[in-house]
Structure 1
Amino acid sequence: MPDELSHPTMDEMDLGAIFAALADPLRRQVVMTLAADPDVVRDCSSFDLPVTKATRTHHFRVLREAGLIHQVDQGNSRTNRLRAAELRRRFPALVDLLLTEARSRKA
């Protein structure tokens, strides 16, 4: 059962929902940024997304509900981290694919 912020459990992660979330280029950019340095926790506003605050909130909600990111409320903002360990256990090759894509964009 998802928690209070709608984080699905590892068993509830659905590959279709993950692929749907990653289909959007802005959401994919967020995930690849987090995948490039999975130990870093970032605030939502630290991502350079050319959208309104409401649209940004929507994108992060889709990522969270798909199980790709974990968010923590920090007063007026939320921090984000890639759920790399959980994703590796549930879909082993997915994180490696995201890391490969993130590295190729840096090069």
Structure 2
Amino acid sequence: MATVTAAAAGSRELAHPARTEIRLEGVLHALSDPMRMHIVRDLSAAATELACSSFELPVSKSTTTHHFRVLRESGVIRQAYRGTAKMSGLRLDDLEELFPGLLAAVLEAAERQAARD
């Protein structure tokens, strides 16, 4: 897991794992939750960064924050403040480099499951 630097601790920068720190088990854990999969599917469909406030999840704000933190700390997403908005985007390049085809396969399986439901 990424360590928060002294500069980041006092600022609005968010800690992210370096590419070399991203672990398969962390990514799979992050993707195993239906709410987090919902976030990842929305980010994938948008193909751009989205503000955290643009997600409508049927959970509390604190639970939503927790889900975004799990995705960020596992290396699935990158978050940054743009003005007052916290923007999130998939770390596609990092995930594809480390685990070729994994995210695409998981997203495809999620789409098939959604079509069945």
The TM-score normalised by the length of structure 1 is: 0.85
Number of the residue aligned with 1:36: 45
Number of the residue aligned with 2:64: 56
Q: Amino acid of the residue matched to residue 45 of structure 1? A: S
Q: Which ranges in structure 2 are unaligned for 5 or more consecutive residues?
A: 9-13
The TM-score normalised by the length of structure 2 is: 0.79
Matches within 5 A, 1:18-33: 18-33=27-42
* Residues 40-63 of structure 1: CA deviation (Å, up to 9, x unaligned): 110111111011111111110000
Q: Find the partner of 1:6 among 7, 12, 15.
A: 15
Matches within 5 A, 1:52-91: 52-91=60-99
* Residues 24-48 of structure 1: CA deviation (Å, up to 9, x unaligned): 10001111221233x3110111111
In 2: Cα distance, 1:33 partner to 1:24 partner? 14
Deviation at 1:102, TM superposition (A): 5.4
Aligned-pair RMSD on alpha carbons?
A: 2.1
Q: State how many pairs are aligned.
A: 106
Contact 1:35 1:98 in 2 (8 A): no
In 2: Cα distance, 1:87 partner to 1:12 partner? 11
Q: Which ranges in structure 1 are unaligned for 5 or more consecutive residues?
A: none
Contact 1:36 1:103 in 2 (8 A): no
Q: Amino acid of the residue matched to residue 42 of structure 2? A: T
Matches within 5 A, 1:85-100: 85-100=93-108
In 2: Cα distance, 1:102 partner to 1:23 partner? 11
Q: Which has the higher contact order (CA 8 A, sep 6+)?
A: 1
In 2: Cα distance, 1:98 partner to 1:61 partner? 20
Deviation at 1:73, TM superposition (A): 1.2
Residue 50 of structure 1 aligns to a residue whose secondary structure is coil
